[in-house]
Amino acid sequence: MVLTATLKDGHEFEPMELEALMIQALVWSLGAALIESSRLRFDAYLKYLACMSAIQDETVEPKVGELPSWKTLYDFTYDVDRRVWVPWAKLVPEYVHDPQRKFYDILVPTVETFRATWLLQLMMNIKRPVVLVGETGTSKTATILDFLRGIDEETHLLLTMNFSSRTTSLDVQRNLEANVEKRTKDTYGPPSNKRLIIFIDDLNMPQQPGGGDALQITYGKGRGVLTTTQKKEGEEEKNYAPHAHLSSPCQWTRFPAAEGMCLCSVPTSRFVSLFSVFNMTFPDSSSLMKIYTSILSGHLSPFPPEISHLTEEITNVTMMLYA
């Protein structure tokens, strides 16, 4: 999927270029759901298998046929036009402070958010549903909301659902039905010429392991069927919702707050297997510094220099206190 999405239409690739794209695709497919410590091992093994010259100099961009050794492949992207590996850190745009913007709407671009946005866009281009997982506070919600703000409303319809422990399958069904039109007897779809993007935040929340009601959503890819079922312990599984055939322009995007390694237990591994799963890792210390100093310096800019110059010190001290 990632390889398909990164191959540019009409571009003739040499075998070495294809190999670079294949390596990148392996990182963001086989290695995409890994946690940080496993990423290091995966990166080392991939480089070992690739048998390419290792570039240790941080100032040199590894060319096609070479790989960077001073950082992992997760920290680089392959630039098809320039035929070099470029560190994500070099591509992250500058943060521009907008005093009118509400604090909770601010997203300071970091390597993690910029990379996740790139992945979301790639998958969106090929209509591939996505799940972002990761520990709490890894900017999953913030990144995706920022990404969705950039979506063209003329051609897309956006449905956002925030799941909670009280969400029932009927709620989901009603929400969906309010956003799709009946096409034929049992086929539904978004208004014509529009693509429906469904974003479900905290999809794992309704799940209550060990009994009680369990919300289960099944997205049958082949048939394009979406069913929601609700089951009580000891009872036979009932389909409370009629089978709704969603026409193809439907994209799922969601990210549960997964804990540690149990990335595939929410809500069922069969469900998750229908998505591309990307683990968002916690911002490293330079990204954290960037987030806090960017927001604080924007906020303090109208103040006299003796105060506004304290931005870095205040951030450092706060980070040290927190640590």
Q: Tell me which residues touch ligand ATP (CB under 6 A).
A: 104, 106-108, 110, 113, 134, 136-142, 257, 291
Residue nearer to ligand ATP on the CB measure, 39 or 115: 115
d(CA 146, CA 140): 10
Residue nearer to Mg ion on the CB measure, 162 or 269: 162
Segment interacting with Mg ion (CB under 5 A) among 19-27, 62-70, 96-104, 139-147: 139-147
Minimum distance from residue 255 beta carbon to ligand ATP (Å)? 7
Residue nearer to Mg ion on the CB measure, 52 or 197: 197
Minimum distance from residue 105 beta carbon to ligand ATP (Å)? 8
Bridging pattern class, strands 84-87 and 76-79 = antiparallel
Binding at 137: pick from Mg ion, ligand ATP, none (beta carbon under 5-8 Å per type) = ligand ATP
Q: Hey, how many other C-beta atoms are within 10 angstroms of the C-beta on 219?
A: 18
Minimum distance from residue 285 beta carbon to ligand ATP (Å)? 14
Residue nearer to Mg ion on the CB measure, 121 or 162: 162
Segment interacting with Mg ion (CB under 5 A) among 137-145, 154-162, 164-172, 236-244: 137-145
Minimum distance from residue 157 beta carbon to ligand ATP (Å)? 23
d(CA 135, CA 21): 28
Residue nearer to Mg ion on the CB measure, 76 or 255: 255
Binding at 197: pick from ligand ATP, Mg ion, none (beta carbon under 5-8 Å per type) = none
Q: Which residues of 140-164 are buried (b: 16+ CB within 10 A; e: fewer)?
A: bbbbbbbbeeeeeeeebbbbebebe
Minimum distance from residue 290 beta carbon to ligand ATP (Å)? 8
Which CB contacts under 8 angstroms, 24+ apart, belong to 263-272? 263/33, 263/133, 264/33, 266/133, 266/203, 266/204, 266/207, 267/203, 267/204, 267/206, 267/207, 267/214, 267/215, 267/216, 267/217, 268/216, 270/218, 271/216, 271/217, 271/218, 271/219, 272/131
* Among 141, 207, 230, 276, contact with Mg ion (rule: CB under 5 A): 141
Size of the site for Mg ion (CB under 5 A): 2
Residues 6+ apart with CB under 8 A from 261: 35
Q: Which residues bind Mg ion (CB under 5 A)?
A: 140-141
